[in-house]
Structure 1
Amino acid sequence: MSRHFAILGLGYFGSTVARELKRHQNQVLGVDADETRVDALSDILDHAVIADLTDEKALGELSLDAYDVVVIDVDDNVEASVTCTLHVKELGAKEIWAKAHSDSHYKLLKRLGADRVVYPEYDVGVRVAESLNYHAMVDFIRLGERQFIVEIETTERLIENCASVANLSIDRDALFLVAIKRGQEVIRNPADDTPLQTGDSLILMGDLQALREIGKQI
């Protein structure tokens, strides 16, 4: 069943979200003050509208309260972003996702009632730093302040020292091996005697410090 999304701001971030949502067969409205941006997506989206995203009257004509989620990406203009978020909230949007450009912008959007604030520069920066620090890490998901799910590629060093799952130095009170990805196969909750192979990816969930100890083995 498709959902209905309104994307306010069709810059690189907003247009990417709009295209991907449409690719998943959702109903998508795209809005921007820039006619060129709107025209570029007019043949892809269900509705593409030229409108000033800071104009409450113009936003009111879009019936934003009828959409499941409203996504706000007003370029790098913090004032316009805040004004748009405020209007959308007052117009009764069910759920608001907004893009932030700085820490202070993030806090403002949260205070204005955005349900989810996306901070791409910060999120990507953290991801890059973690990947550089732990070169074998493929991806990670933050579950809380100190809880993560990470995907780590096995290395020759790890294979040499750990022939099987049992040989992994895992603090079982703080860390859980969820699965091993081996090509197209996913070995869920692998047994201790499961051998480790070159090219495997370990999916681990647990405390940050315990994950860092595993990183030292790689």
Structure 2
Amino acid sequence: MKKEFAVIGLGRFGGSICRSLSQQGMDVLAIDIDEDKVNEYSSIASHAVVGDTTDEVVLKSLGIRNFDHVIIAIGDNIQASILTTLILKELGVKHITVKAQNDYHEKVLTKIGADQIVHPERDMGQRIAHNIVSNNVLDYLELSDEHSIVEIIASKHVDGYSLIDLDIRAKYGINIVAIKRGKDILVSPQASETIIKGDILIIIGADTDINRFEKNLIED
């Protein structure tokens, strides 16, 4: 099933996540108190609305508790960020990721139950978007606008198959450049190498090809 996301705060950081999730085909509700920002993302997100997320009535009216994941990317208003997080927790939102302004903000967010806390200086919007879309993606590094290196956990769908059995390069146009297995790392694995469920596959290729591979062979 396609996951549903809500992004609260459409500044540079929240906008980046909103855009990236939408490009990956996810359903995204974009929310901001600034009408101009909402208008900017109305053609990018599935839905874009003007709203004050420190108002519990507003969040309830949006059906926020039904979303799989809510990302709070509110800018400099730490109080609004904390209040929004508290309300979302009380409403029973499944997973909440919050942008922290500083270490103090992070400590407060941790205490009130934020599931994931990120610092924009350290985490690009696209990296976070890839991580939260799939449970199999451990890390993501953008090489260019269209190519990336991704760490993906091997699922049961590829367990026991060799690289030559899967014929990944020919079918998907991507390359497995290394395999992490426990404490061992197999660099440039041989075509006869058998993949074991739980292996971490380090893949390089075009984003569209990596997404095809992940959807067809990796996602549980």
TM-score of Structure 1 vs Structure 2, range by shorter chain: 0.5 to 0.7
Q: Which residue of 2 aligns with 1:34?
A: 34
The amino acid across from 1:177 in the alignment is: I
**How large is the Cα RMSD of the aligned pairs?**
2.6
Q: Which residue of 1 aligns with 2:184?
A: 176
Q: Distance in 2 between matches of 1:96 and 1:112?
A: 11
Q: Distance in 1 between matches of 2:123 and 2:190?
A: 28
Q: Which runs of 5+ in 1 are unaligned?
A: 125-138, 142-173, 181-186, 192-202, 204-218
Q: Which has the higher contact order (CA 8 A, sep 6+)?
A: 2
Q: Structure 2 matches for 1:5-154, cutoff 5 A?
A: 5-122=5-122
Pair member with larger Rg:
1
Question: Aligned-pair distance for 1:190?
Answer: 11
Q: Secondary structure at the match of 1:121?
A: coil
Q: Distance in 2 between matches of 1:88 and 1:10?
A: 18
The amino acid across from 1:119 in the alignment is: H
Question: Aligned-pair distance for 1:121?
Answer: 2.0
Q: Secondary structure at the match of 2:121?
A: helix
**Percentage identity across paired residues of the two chains:** 40
Q: Tell me if the contact between 1:64 and 1:92 (Cα under 8 Å) persists in the aligned partners.
A: no
Q: Tell me if the contact between 1:54 and 1:84 (Cα under 8 Å) persists in the aligned partners.
A: yes
* Superposed CA offset, 1:184-203 (max 9, x none): xxx36999xxxxxxxxxxx7
Calculate the TM-score normalised by the size of structure 1: 0.58
Q: Which runs of 5+ in 2 are unaligned?
A: 125-148, 152-181, 194-201, 203-220
Question: Aligned-pair distance for 1:93?
Answer: 0.6
Q: Tell me if the contact between 1:178 and 1:188 (Cα under 8 Å) persists in the aligned partners.
A: no
Shift of the 102–190 alpha-carbon distance from structure 1 to 2, 3 Å rule, reads farther
